[in-house]
Amino acid sequence: MRTLIILTFLAVLVMAATCYESHESMESHEHYYPFINRRRANDFIQADTRLGAITQERIRERAKAPHERQREMCEDYYPCELYAYRHGYAAAYKHYFGRRR
């Protein structure tokens, strides 16, 4: 009987130690109201910057430098890519695709 009381007391102590809610967890306002309104949710993102970045990326995709296009062609063709590892992309492009023109 005595061991049962001691085990029960230890179980209560363990439960109290593990289930205790500290004050730090209550400091956050999200505990009381986890949702924020739409205006505050979008405050940290600037719409103009985001749209400008997307526009710049689309422009760069359309107007690539000639060496960038050559490098992409060389990367798509495996022997050219292997040659480029040793001699560089300009030499590899010239070796594999330079004779076509």
pLDDT tens column, 21-68: 666 655 555 556 667 776 666 666 666 666 777 777 777 767 778 888
Q: Which of 40, 48, 57, 97 is nearest to 74 (CA)?
A: 97
**What is the CB neighbour count within 10 angstroms for residue 62?**
6
Residue matched to tokens 């967890």 = 25
Domain ranges of the chain: 65-100
Q: What is the pTM of this model?
A: 0.39
* Phi, psi for 96 (deg, rounded to 5): -95, -35
